[in-house]
Structure 1
Amino acid sequence: MKFAALVAIAAPASAYLITGSTVNCRTGPGTSYAVKKTYTEGQDVSITCQTPGTAVNGNSIWDKTTDGCYVADYYVKTGTNGYVTTKCTVCSAPKSNQATVDLIAEFEGFVANIYLDPVGLPTVGYGHLCSDSKCSEVRAKYSIPLSQANGKKLLAEDMARFEKCITNLSGSKVTLNLNQYGALVSWSYNVGCGAAESSTLMNRLNNGESAATVLPQELPKWKYAGGSVLPGLVRRREAEIALARTSTTAKAIPRSC
Protein backbone atom coordinates (compact mmCIF):
# COMPACT_ATOMS: atom_id res chain seq x y z
CA MET A 1 0.00 0.00 0.00
CA LYS A 2 1.12 3.52 -0.76
CA PHE A 3 2.12 6.27 1.66
CA ALA A 4 -0.34 9.07 1.88
CA ALA A 5 1.44 12.38 1.79
CA LEU A 6 4.95 13.57 1.10
CA VAL A 7 6.78 16.83 1.62
CA ALA A 8 9.94 18.11 0.05
CA ILE A 9 13.19 18.96 1.67
CA ALA A 10 13.67 22.66 0.95
CA ALA A 11 15.27 22.99 -2.46
CA PRO A 12 14.94 25.22 -5.51
CA ALA A 13 12.49 23.96 -8.13
CA SER A 14 13.73 23.08 -11.62
CA ALA A 15 11.56 23.26 -14.75
CA TYR A 16 11.17 20.42 -17.26
CA LEU A 17 8.91 19.65 -20.24
CA ILE A 18 5.98 17.20 -20.16
CA THR A 19 6.39 14.57 -22.90
CA GLY A 20 3.01 12.79 -22.77
CA SER A 21 -0.09 14.14 -24.51
CA THR A 22 -2.21 14.24 -21.33
CA VAL A 23 -0.42 13.48 -18.06
CA ASN A 24 -2.17 13.20 -14.70
CA CYS A 25 -0.66 14.88 -11.67
CA ARG A 26 -1.82 12.98 -8.57
CA THR A 27 -2.06 13.53 -4.83
CA GLY A 28 0.63 10.88 -4.27
CA PRO A 29 3.32 8.95 -6.15
CA GLY A 30 1.23 6.22 -7.75
CA THR A 31 -1.55 5.52 -10.22
CA SER A 32 -4.11 4.76 -7.48
CA TYR A 33 -3.92 8.27 -6.01
CA ALA A 34 -6.59 10.84 -6.84
CA VAL A 35 -5.92 13.09 -9.87
CA LYS A 36 -5.35 16.70 -8.81
CA LYS A 37 -4.76 18.19 -12.25
CA THR A 38 -3.51 17.29 -15.73
CA TYR A 39 -0.60 18.55 -17.83
CA THR A 40 -0.38 18.70 -21.62
CA GLU A 41 2.52 17.81 -23.90
CA GLY A 42 5.17 20.50 -24.05
CA GLN A 43 4.02 22.17 -20.85
CA ASP A 44 6.81 23.39 -18.58
CA VAL A 45 6.55 22.08 -15.00
CA SER A 46 8.80 22.74 -12.05
CA ILE A 47 9.65 19.89 -9.67
CA THR A 48 10.69 20.31 -6.05
CA CYS A 49 11.61 16.73 -5.12
CA GLN A 50 11.37 13.14 -6.34
CA THR A 51 10.28 9.89 -4.69
CA PRO A 52 9.79 6.19 -5.52
CA GLY A 53 6.29 5.13 -6.56
CA THR A 54 4.33 3.00 -9.01
CA ALA A 55 6.56 1.96 -11.93
CA VAL A 56 5.52 3.41 -15.30
CA ASN A 57 7.19 1.66 -18.24
CA GLY A 58 10.08 0.63 -16.01
CA ASN A 59 10.61 4.02 -14.34
CA SER A 60 9.49 4.07 -10.68
CA ILE A 61 10.44 7.71 -9.95
CA TRP A 62 7.68 10.27 -9.39
CA ASP A 63 8.25 14.02 -9.46
CA LYS A 64 6.52 16.40 -7.05
CA THR A 65 5.65 19.61 -8.88
CA THR A 66 5.21 23.10 -7.53
CA ASP A 67 1.47 22.51 -7.95
CA GLY A 68 1.75 20.15 -4.96
CA CYS A 69 1.01 16.93 -6.88
CA TYR A 70 3.00 14.01 -8.30
CA VAL A 71 3.62 13.09 -11.92
CA ALA A 72 5.36 9.98 -13.25
CA ASP A 73 8.95 10.88 -14.14
CA TYR A 74 8.55 8.77 -17.31
CA TYR A 75 6.48 11.66 -18.74
CA VAL A 76 8.89 14.41 -17.66
CA LYS A 77 11.89 15.32 -19.82
CA THR A 78 14.58 15.46 -17.15
CA GLY A 79 17.18 13.91 -19.44
CA THR A 80 17.72 10.86 -17.23
CA ASN A 81 15.86 7.99 -15.58
CA GLY A 82 17.63 8.81 -12.31
CA TYR A 83 17.14 11.43 -9.64
CA VAL A 84 17.84 15.03 -10.67
CA THR A 85 16.80 16.71 -7.42
CA THR A 86 16.40 15.95 -3.72
CA LYS A 87 14.29 13.04 -2.48
CA CYS A 88 10.93 13.75 -0.88
CA THR A 89 10.48 12.70 2.74
CA VAL A 90 7.65 10.37 3.75
CA CYS A 91 4.69 11.48 5.85
CA SER A 92 2.52 8.65 7.16
CA ALA A 93 -1.28 8.54 7.17
CA PRO A 94 -3.01 9.93 10.28
CA LYS A 95 -3.55 7.41 13.07
CA SER A 96 -7.15 6.65 14.04
CA ASN A 97 -8.35 7.84 17.43
CA GLN A 98 -9.53 5.51 20.20
CA ALA A 99 -13.19 6.06 19.29
CA THR A 100 -12.51 4.58 15.85
CA VAL A 101 -10.60 1.61 17.26
CA ASP A 102 -13.45 0.92 19.70
CA LEU A 103 -16.09 1.16 16.95
CA ILE A 104 -14.32 -1.31 14.68
CA ALA A 105 -13.59 -3.73 17.51
CA GLU A 106 -17.22 -3.61 18.69
CA PHE A 107 -18.76 -4.37 15.33
CA GLU A 108 -16.18 -6.87 14.14
CA GLY A 109 -16.09 -8.73 17.45
CA PHE A 110 -13.27 -11.10 18.29
CA VAL A 111 -13.19 -14.70 17.09
CA ALA A 112 -10.05 -16.72 17.79
CA ASN A 113 -10.64 -19.34 15.07
CA ILE A 114 -11.22 -18.99 11.35
CA TYR A 115 -14.90 -18.52 10.48
CA LEU A 116 -16.96 -17.52 7.46
CA ASP A 117 -18.38 -13.99 7.43
CA PRO A 118 -21.99 -13.28 6.24
CA VAL A 119 -20.97 -13.55 2.59
CA GLY A 120 -18.84 -16.69 3.08
CA LEU A 121 -15.34 -15.20 3.26
CA PRO A 122 -12.79 -16.76 5.67
CA THR A 123 -12.20 -14.37 8.57
CA VAL A 124 -10.37 -14.37 11.89
CA GLY A 125 -9.72 -12.09 14.87
CA TYR A 126 -11.36 -8.67 14.64
CA GLY A 127 -12.77 -9.14 11.15
CA HIS A 128 -9.49 -9.83 9.36
CA LEU A 129 -10.32 -11.15 5.87
CA CYS A 130 -7.98 -14.06 5.11
CA SER A 131 -6.10 -14.39 1.84
CA ASP A 132 -7.12 -18.06 1.65
CA SER A 133 -9.22 -20.60 3.53
CA LYS A 134 -6.35 -21.42 5.92
CA CYS A 135 -5.41 -17.77 6.67
CA SER A 136 -1.86 -18.52 5.60
CA GLU A 137 -0.70 -14.92 5.94
CA VAL A 138 -1.88 -14.83 9.57
CA ARG A 139 -0.33 -18.21 10.42
CA ALA A 140 2.99 -16.89 9.12
CA LYS A 141 3.02 -14.45 12.09
CA TYR A 142 0.67 -15.82 14.74
CA SER A 143 -0.72 -19.16 15.82
CA ILE A 144 -4.42 -19.90 15.33
CA PRO A 145 -6.52 -19.94 17.49
CA LEU A 146 -5.47 -16.33 17.93
CA SER A 147 -4.89 -14.90 21.37
CA GLN A 148 -6.78 -11.68 21.96
CA ALA A 149 -3.45 -9.84 22.24
CA ASN A 150 -2.38 -11.07 18.81
CA GLY A 151 -5.84 -10.27 17.52
CA LYS A 152 -5.31 -6.65 18.59
CA LYS A 153 -1.94 -6.61 16.80
CA LEU A 154 -3.59 -7.91 13.65
CA LEU A 155 -6.35 -5.30 13.98
CA ALA A 156 -3.73 -2.53 14.24
CA GLU A 157 -1.99 -3.84 11.11
CA ASP A 158 -5.25 -3.97 9.20
CA MET A 159 -6.35 -0.52 10.35
CA ALA A 160 -3.04 0.99 9.18
CA ARG A 161 -3.76 -0.33 5.70
CA PHE A 162 -7.17 1.34 5.61
CA GLU A 163 -5.87 4.55 7.14
CA LYS A 164 -3.49 4.73 4.19
CA CYS A 165 -6.35 3.79 1.86
CA ILE A 166 -8.58 6.69 2.91
CA THR A 167 -5.66 9.14 2.96
CA ASN A 168 -4.51 8.05 -0.49
CA LEU A 169 -8.00 8.34 -1.96
CA SER A 170 -8.54 11.85 -0.57
CA GLY A 171 -7.72 14.56 -3.09
CA SER A 172 -6.81 18.17 -2.47
CA LYS A 173 -10.44 19.25 -1.99
CA VAL A 174 -11.10 16.83 0.88
CA THR A 175 -11.16 18.13 4.45
CA LEU A 176 -11.80 15.68 7.30
CA ASN A 177 -11.55 15.98 11.05
CA LEU A 178 -10.32 12.95 12.98
CA ASN A 179 -13.83 11.62 13.70
CA GLN A 180 -14.97 11.94 10.07
CA TYR A 181 -11.73 10.25 9.02
CA GLY A 182 -12.32 7.50 11.58
CA ALA A 183 -15.82 6.87 10.23
CA LEU A 184 -14.33 6.38 6.76
CA VAL A 185 -11.57 4.12 8.07
CA SER A 186 -14.22 1.93 9.73
CA TRP A 187 -16.32 1.92 6.55
CA SER A 188 -13.40 1.00 4.29
CA TYR A 189 -12.25 -1.66 6.77
CA ASN A 190 -15.71 -3.18 6.37
CA VAL A 191 -16.27 -2.84 2.60
CA GLY A 192 -12.69 -2.92 1.28
CA CYS A 193 -10.42 -0.28 -0.25
CA GLY A 194 -11.42 -1.21 -3.81
CA ALA A 195 -15.07 -0.53 -3.07
CA ALA A 196 -14.17 2.74 -1.36
CA GLU A 197 -12.07 3.83 -4.34
CA SER A 198 -14.92 3.38 -6.83
CA SER A 199 -17.62 4.77 -4.52
CA THR A 200 -19.87 7.75 -5.08
CA LEU A 201 -18.99 8.75 -1.52
CA MET A 202 -15.29 9.34 -2.26
CA ASN A 203 -16.12 10.87 -5.63
CA ARG A 204 -18.36 13.46 -3.97
CA LEU A 205 -15.73 14.28 -1.36
CA ASN A 206 -13.08 14.67 -4.06
CA ASN A 207 -15.40 17.00 -5.96
CA GLY A 208 -15.33 19.32 -2.96
CA GLU A 209 -18.58 18.47 -1.16
CA SER A 210 -18.55 18.72 2.62
CA ALA A 211 -18.02 15.53 4.63
CA ALA A 212 -20.75 16.74 6.99
CA THR A 213 -23.19 16.48 4.08
CA VAL A 214 -21.83 13.49 2.18
CA LEU A 215 -21.27 10.96 4.99
CA PRO A 216 -24.84 10.92 6.40
CA GLN A 217 -26.21 10.62 2.85
CA GLU A 218 -23.83 7.99 1.45
CA LEU A 219 -22.87 5.72 4.36
CA PRO A 220 -26.42 4.34 4.91
CA LYS A 221 -26.38 2.97 1.35
CA TRP A 222 -23.71 0.46 2.41
CA LYS A 223 -26.04 -1.88 4.29
CA TYR A 224 -26.19 -4.82 1.88
CA ALA A 225 -24.35 -8.14 1.86
CA GLY A 226 -25.18 -10.82 -0.67
CA GLY A 227 -28.02 -8.62 -1.94
CA SER A 228 -29.80 -8.45 1.42
CA VAL A 229 -29.98 -5.73 4.04
CA LEU A 230 -28.10 -6.79 7.16
CA PRO A 231 -29.25 -5.25 10.47
CA GLY A 232 -25.64 -5.33 11.71
CA LEU A 233 -24.52 -3.20 8.76
CA VAL A 234 -27.38 -0.77 9.36
CA ARG A 235 -26.24 -0.35 12.97
CA ARG A 236 -22.60 0.00 11.95
CA ARG A 237 -23.39 2.74 9.44
CA GLU A 238 -25.43 4.54 12.09
CA ALA A 239 -22.50 4.32 14.52
CA GLU A 240 -20.08 5.62 11.85
CA ILE A 241 -22.38 8.56 11.14
CA ALA A 242 -22.66 9.29 14.86
CA LEU A 243 -18.87 9.26 15.13
CA ALA A 244 -18.53 11.56 12.11
CA ARG A 245 -21.00 13.99 13.67
CA THR A 246 -19.13 14.10 16.98
CA SER A 247 -17.43 17.47 17.27
CA THR A 248 -13.63 17.60 17.44
CA THR A 249 -10.94 20.13 16.68
CA ALA A 250 -8.45 17.38 15.73
CA LYS A 251 -7.73 17.50 12.00
CA ALA A 252 -6.87 14.51 9.82
CA ILE A 253 -7.07 15.49 6.12
CA PRO A 254 -5.30 17.37 4.60
CA ARG A 255 -2.29 15.93 6.40
CA SER A 256 0.53 18.25 7.38
CA CYS A 257 3.95 16.99 8.42
Structure 2
Amino acid sequence: MKLVSIAAVASALAHASAYLITGDTVNCRAGPGTNYEVKRTYSKGIDVTITCQTPGTSVEGHSIWDKTSDGCYVSDLYVETGSDGYVVGKCGTTACVAPKSNQATVDLIAEFEGFEPTIYTDAAGYPTVGYGHLCKDSTCSDLKYSIPLSQADGKKLLADDMTRFERCITAMTHATVNLNQYGALISWSFNMGCGAAETSSLIQRLNNGEDVDTVLSEELPRWVYAGGQVLPGLVRRRNAEIALARTPMDDTALPAC
Protein backbone atom coordinates (compact mmCIF):
# COMPACT_ATOMS: atom_id res chain seq x y z
CA MET A 1 0.00 0.00 0.00
CA LYS A 2 1.28 3.49 -0.79
CA LEU A 3 2.21 5.45 2.35
CA VAL A 4 0.68 8.84 2.92
CA SER A 5 2.23 11.60 5.01
CA ILE A 6 0.47 13.44 7.83
CA ALA A 7 0.55 16.59 5.71
CA ALA A 8 -1.11 14.78 2.83
CA VAL A 9 -3.83 13.44 5.14
CA ALA A 10 -4.50 16.96 6.37
CA SER A 11 -4.62 18.25 2.81
CA ALA A 12 -7.02 15.50 1.77
CA LEU A 13 -9.30 16.23 4.70
CA ALA A 14 -9.26 19.94 3.93
CA HIS A 15 -9.83 19.65 0.20
CA ALA A 16 -12.00 16.49 0.09
CA SER A 17 -10.40 14.93 -3.00
CA ALA A 18 -7.14 16.84 -3.54
CA TYR A 19 -4.05 14.63 -3.59
CA LEU A 20 -0.33 15.08 -4.16
CA ILE A 21 1.44 14.00 -7.34
CA THR A 22 4.39 11.79 -6.37
CA GLY A 23 6.09 11.28 -9.76
CA ASP A 24 8.59 13.77 -11.16
CA THR A 25 6.69 14.37 -14.41
CA VAL A 26 3.33 12.61 -14.60
CA ASN A 27 1.36 12.40 -17.83
CA CYS A 28 -2.37 13.11 -17.67
CA ARG A 29 -3.99 11.28 -20.58
CA ALA A 30 -7.21 11.42 -22.58
CA GLY A 31 -8.29 8.06 -21.18
CA PRO A 32 -7.34 5.49 -18.53
CA GLY A 33 -4.43 3.84 -20.30
CA THR A 34 -0.90 4.39 -21.54
CA ASN A 35 -2.03 4.28 -25.17
CA TYR A 36 -4.14 7.43 -24.79
CA GLU A 37 -2.94 10.86 -25.90
CA VAL A 38 -1.13 12.98 -23.30
CA LYS A 39 -3.28 16.02 -22.53
CA ARG A 40 -1.02 17.69 -19.93
CA THR A 41 1.69 16.89 -17.40
CA TYR A 42 1.86 17.36 -13.63
CA SER A 43 4.98 18.15 -11.62
CA LYS A 44 5.88 16.37 -8.40
CA GLY A 45 4.31 17.80 -5.26
CA ILE A 46 1.35 19.63 -6.77
CA ASP A 47 -2.21 18.92 -5.67
CA VAL A 48 -4.73 17.43 -8.09
CA THR A 49 -8.41 17.01 -7.49
CA ILE A 50 -9.74 13.55 -8.32
CA THR A 51 -13.30 13.59 -9.60
CA CYS A 52 -13.63 9.81 -10.01
CA GLN A 53 -11.57 6.64 -10.51
CA THR A 54 -11.77 3.83 -13.07
CA PRO A 55 -9.94 0.64 -14.10
CA GLY A 56 -7.34 0.98 -16.85
CA THR A 57 -3.95 -0.17 -18.09
CA SER A 58 -1.87 -1.71 -15.30
CA VAL A 59 1.21 0.36 -14.42
CA GLU A 60 3.65 -1.52 -12.18
CA GLY A 61 0.76 -3.56 -10.81
CA HIS A 62 -1.62 -0.62 -10.30
CA SER A 63 -4.69 -0.74 -12.56
CA ILE A 64 -6.69 2.16 -11.08
CA TRP A 65 -6.63 5.48 -12.93
CA ASP A 66 -7.66 8.79 -11.42
CA LYS A 67 -9.68 11.32 -13.43
CA THR A 68 -8.66 14.82 -12.42
CA SER A 69 -10.61 18.06 -12.48
CA ASP A 70 -8.70 18.87 -15.68
CA GLY A 71 -10.68 16.11 -17.40
CA CYS A 72 -7.74 13.75 -18.00
CA TYR A 73 -6.48 10.55 -16.37
CA VAL A 74 -3.34 9.67 -14.40
CA SER A 75 -2.25 6.30 -13.06
CA ASP A 76 -3.05 6.07 -9.35
CA LEU A 77 0.51 4.83 -8.87
CA TYR A 78 1.66 8.45 -9.11
CA VAL A 79 -0.98 9.98 -6.84
CA GLU A 80 -0.62 9.94 -3.04
CA THR A 81 -4.11 8.79 -2.13
CA GLY A 82 -2.96 6.65 0.80
CA SER A 83 -4.60 3.55 -0.65
CA ASP A 84 -4.23 1.00 -3.42
CA GLY A 85 -8.02 0.96 -3.73
CA TYR A 86 -10.75 3.43 -4.61
CA VAL A 87 -10.85 6.61 -2.53
CA VAL A 88 -13.57 8.40 -4.52
CA GLY A 89 -16.48 7.16 -6.61
CA LYS A 90 -16.04 5.20 -9.80
CA CYS A 91 -16.37 7.04 -13.09
CA GLY A 92 -19.57 6.51 -15.07
CA THR A 93 -19.91 3.02 -16.49
CA THR A 94 -21.59 3.98 -19.77
CA ALA A 95 -19.44 2.39 -22.44
CA CYS A 96 -19.18 3.05 -26.13
CA VAL A 97 -20.99 0.45 -28.21
CA ALA A 98 -18.54 -1.06 -30.69
CA PRO A 99 -19.73 -0.74 -34.30
CA LYS A 100 -20.30 -3.95 -36.23
CA SER A 101 -17.89 -4.58 -39.07
CA ASN A 102 -19.22 -4.33 -42.60
CA GLN A 103 -19.53 -7.30 -44.92
CA ALA A 104 -16.33 -6.37 -46.76
CA THR A 105 -14.43 -6.87 -43.50
CA VAL A 106 -16.09 -10.20 -42.76
CA ASP A 107 -15.28 -11.38 -46.28
CA LEU A 108 -11.64 -10.28 -46.01
CA ILE A 109 -11.08 -12.12 -42.73
CA ALA A 110 -12.89 -15.20 -44.06
CA GLU A 111 -10.64 -15.28 -47.11
CA PHE A 112 -7.50 -15.49 -45.02
CA GLU A 113 -8.78 -17.68 -42.19
CA GLY A 114 -9.93 -20.52 -44.44
CA PHE A 115 -13.14 -22.54 -44.03
CA GLU A 116 -13.85 -26.02 -42.66
CA PRO A 117 -17.52 -27.10 -42.49
CA THR A 118 -16.88 -29.93 -40.03
CA ILE A 119 -15.13 -30.11 -36.65
CA TYR A 120 -11.38 -30.57 -36.68
CA THR A 121 -8.56 -30.30 -34.14
CA ASP A 122 -6.31 -27.30 -34.65
CA ALA A 123 -2.53 -27.21 -34.16
CA ALA A 124 -2.95 -26.39 -30.47
CA GLY A 125 -5.33 -29.33 -29.93
CA TYR A 126 -8.62 -27.40 -29.77
CA PRO A 127 -11.85 -28.46 -31.50
CA THR A 128 -12.42 -25.96 -34.28
CA VAL A 129 -14.95 -25.36 -37.05
CA GLY A 130 -15.81 -22.86 -39.74
CA TYR A 131 -13.49 -19.88 -40.09
CA GLY A 132 -11.30 -20.79 -37.13
CA HIS A 133 -14.00 -20.80 -34.44
CA LEU A 134 -12.74 -22.48 -31.25
CA CYS A 135 -15.47 -24.66 -29.76
CA LYS A 136 -16.14 -25.13 -26.06
CA ASP A 137 -16.16 -28.91 -26.37
CA SER A 138 -15.41 -31.67 -28.85
CA THR A 139 -18.94 -31.59 -30.29
CA CYS A 140 -19.11 -27.79 -30.62
CA SER A 141 -22.30 -27.81 -28.57
CA ASP A 142 -22.00 -24.04 -28.10
CA LEU A 143 -22.92 -23.38 -31.74
CA LYS A 144 -26.33 -22.10 -32.76
CA TYR A 145 -25.69 -23.33 -36.30
CA SER A 146 -25.90 -26.91 -37.54
CA ILE A 147 -22.83 -28.89 -38.56
CA PRO A 148 -21.65 -29.29 -41.24
CA LEU A 149 -21.66 -25.51 -41.47
CA SER A 150 -22.72 -23.77 -44.61
CA GLN A 151 -20.38 -20.98 -45.66
CA ALA A 152 -23.18 -18.49 -44.99
CA ASP A 153 -23.54 -19.72 -41.40
CA GLY A 154 -19.78 -19.88 -41.11
CA LYS A 155 -19.57 -16.17 -41.88
CA LYS A 156 -22.30 -15.42 -39.35
CA LEU A 157 -20.29 -17.33 -36.76
CA LEU A 158 -17.16 -15.43 -37.79
CA ALA A 159 -19.01 -12.13 -37.39
CA ASP A 160 -19.93 -13.24 -33.86
CA ASP A 161 -16.30 -14.08 -33.10
CA MET A 162 -15.20 -10.66 -34.36
CA THR A 163 -17.19 -8.93 -31.61
CA ARG A 164 -14.43 -8.95 -29.00
CA PHE A 165 -11.97 -7.44 -31.46
CA GLU A 166 -14.49 -4.76 -32.38
CA ARG A 167 -14.80 -3.96 -28.68
CA CYS A 168 -11.09 -3.75 -28.04
CA ILE A 169 -10.36 -1.63 -31.12
CA THR A 170 -13.22 0.70 -30.20
CA ALA A 171 -11.90 1.03 -26.65
CA MET A 172 -8.30 1.77 -27.62
CA THR A 173 -8.76 3.91 -30.76
CA HIS A 174 -9.61 7.59 -30.45
CA ALA A 175 -9.14 8.65 -34.04
CA THR A 176 -11.90 9.31 -36.56
CA VAL A 177 -12.03 6.33 -38.92
CA ASN A 178 -14.60 5.19 -41.46
CA LEU A 179 -16.03 1.67 -41.65
CA ASN A 180 -13.44 0.42 -44.13
CA GLN A 181 -10.52 1.79 -42.12
CA TYR A 182 -12.13 0.28 -39.04
CA GLY A 183 -12.41 -3.02 -40.90
CA ALA A 184 -8.68 -3.01 -41.61
CA LEU A 185 -8.04 -2.54 -37.89
CA ILE A 186 -10.42 -5.36 -36.99
CA SER A 187 -8.79 -7.79 -39.44
CA TRP A 188 -5.33 -6.87 -38.17
CA SER A 189 -6.26 -7.29 -34.49
CA PHE A 190 -8.17 -10.52 -35.23
CA ASN A 191 -4.94 -11.84 -36.75
CA MET A 192 -2.42 -10.42 -34.28
CA GLY A 193 -4.38 -10.07 -31.03
CA CYS A 194 -5.79 -7.18 -29.01
CA GLY A 195 -2.80 -7.07 -26.66
CA ALA A 196 -0.36 -6.55 -29.52
CA ALA A 197 -2.63 -3.91 -31.04
CA GLU A 198 -2.97 -1.95 -27.81
CA THR A 199 0.79 -1.53 -27.35
CA SER A 200 1.52 -0.87 -31.04
CA SER A 201 2.94 2.28 -32.61
CA LEU A 202 0.06 2.02 -35.09
CA ILE A 203 -2.57 2.75 -32.43
CA GLN A 204 -0.33 5.32 -30.78
CA ARG A 205 0.08 7.22 -34.04
CA LEU A 206 -3.66 7.14 -34.75
CA ASN A 207 -4.38 8.48 -31.27
CA ASN A 208 -1.80 11.20 -31.78
CA GLY A 209 -3.88 12.51 -34.67
CA GLU A 210 -1.83 11.38 -37.66
CA ASP A 211 -3.53 10.79 -41.00
CA VAL A 212 -5.30 7.41 -40.84
CA ASP A 213 -4.47 6.19 -44.36
CA THR A 214 -0.82 7.17 -43.96
CA VAL A 215 -0.52 5.36 -40.63
CA LEU A 216 -2.17 2.18 -41.91
CA SER A 217 -0.07 2.17 -45.10
CA GLU A 218 3.15 2.58 -43.14
CA GLU A 219 2.42 0.46 -40.08
CA LEU A 220 0.46 -2.57 -41.32
CA PRO A 221 3.33 -3.83 -43.55
CA ARG A 222 5.45 -4.19 -40.41
CA TRP A 223 3.17 -7.01 -39.20
CA VAL A 224 4.29 -9.71 -41.64
CA TYR A 225 6.77 -11.68 -39.52
CA ALA A 226 6.54 -15.01 -37.73
CA GLY A 227 9.63 -16.51 -36.13
CA GLY A 228 11.70 -13.72 -37.66
CA GLN A 229 10.67 -14.69 -41.19
CA VAL A 230 8.41 -12.81 -43.59
CA LEU A 231 5.32 -14.90 -44.35
CA PRO A 232 3.84 -14.38 -47.83
CA GLY A 233 0.33 -15.02 -46.45
CA LEU A 234 0.74 -12.16 -43.97
CA VAL A 235 2.06 -9.89 -46.70
CA ARG A 236 -1.05 -10.60 -48.78
CA ARG A 237 -3.32 -10.03 -45.78
CA ARG A 238 -1.73 -6.69 -44.86
CA ASN A 239 -2.00 -5.56 -48.48
CA ALA A 240 -5.68 -6.55 -48.53
CA GLU A 241 -6.27 -4.60 -45.31
CA ILE A 242 -4.59 -1.51 -46.74
CA ALA A 243 -6.67 -1.83 -49.92
CA LEU A 244 -9.86 -2.06 -47.84
CA ALA A 245 -8.87 0.98 -45.78
CA ARG A 246 -8.26 2.99 -48.96
CA THR A 247 -11.65 2.12 -50.43
CA PRO A 248 -13.79 5.29 -50.18
CA MET A 249 -16.45 5.14 -47.48
CA ASP A 250 -18.64 7.92 -46.05
CA ASP A 251 -19.88 6.05 -42.96
CA THR A 252 -17.90 6.89 -39.82
CA ALA A 253 -17.20 4.03 -37.43
CA LEU A 254 -15.08 5.71 -34.73
CA PRO A 255 -15.18 7.44 -32.39
CA ALA A 256 -18.25 5.52 -31.29
CA CYS A 257 -19.24 8.01 -28.58
TM-superposed CA distance for 1:59, in Å, is 6.7
Distance 2:107 2:55 in 1: 35
Q: 1:87 aligns with which of 83, 87, 91?
A: 91
Contact 1:177 1:248 in 2 (8 A): yes
* 1:108-167: CA deviation from partner (whole Å, max 9, x where unpaired): 2332433547xx896643234x5xxx9769958449967458855653453222223323
Q: 2:115 aligns with which of 75, 86, 110?
A: 110
TM-superposed CA distance for 1:214, in Å, is 1.7
Number of the residue aligned with 1:6: none
Contact 1:27 1:36 in 2 (8 A): yes
Amino acid at match of 2:28: C
Question: Computing the radius of gyration over CA atoms, which structure comes out larger, 1 or 2?
Answer: 2
Number of the residue aligned with 2:12: none
**In the TM superposition, what are the counterparts of 1:1-257 in structure 2 within 5 Å?**
15-30=18-33, 33-34=35-36, 36-37=38-39, 38-53=41-56, 61-78=64-81, 81-85=85-89, 87-98=91-102, 99-111=104-116, 112-116=118-122, 124-128=129-133, 141-142=142-143, 147=149, 155-170=158-173, 174-226=175-227, 227-230=229-232, 232-256=233-257
Question: For the aligned residues, what is the CA RMSD?
Answer: 4.0
Contact 1:50 1:88 in 2 (8 A): no
Structure 1: gaps spanning 5 or more residues: 1-12
Shift in alpha-carbon separation, 1:57–1:218, aligned structure 2, 3 A: closer
> What is the SS of the residue equivalent to 1:89?
coil
Number of the residue aligned with 2:5: none
Amino acid at match of 2:243: A
Amino acid at match of 1:44: D
Contact 1:78 1:84 in 2 (8 A): no
Amino acid at match of 2:38: K
Runs of 4 or more above 6 Å deviation: 55-59, 143-146
Distance 1:162 1:93 in 2: 12
Shift in alpha-carbon separation, 1:160–1:146, aligned structure 2, 3 A: farther
TM-superposed CA distance for 1:90, in Å, is 2.6
Shift in alpha-carbon separation, 1:138–1:102, aligned structure 2, 3 A: farther
Contact 2:119 2:139 in 1 (8 A): no
> What is the SS of the residue equivalent to 1:113?
strand
TM-superposed CA distance for 1:66, in Å, is 4.1
Distance 1:205 1:30 in 2: 15
User: Percent same amino acid at aligned positions?
Assistant: 59
Could you say which structure has the greater relative contact order, defined with CA pairs below 8 angstroms and 6 or more residues apart? 1
Q: What is the count of residue pairs matched by the alignment?
A: 234
TM-superposed CA distance for 1:189, in Å, is 0.7
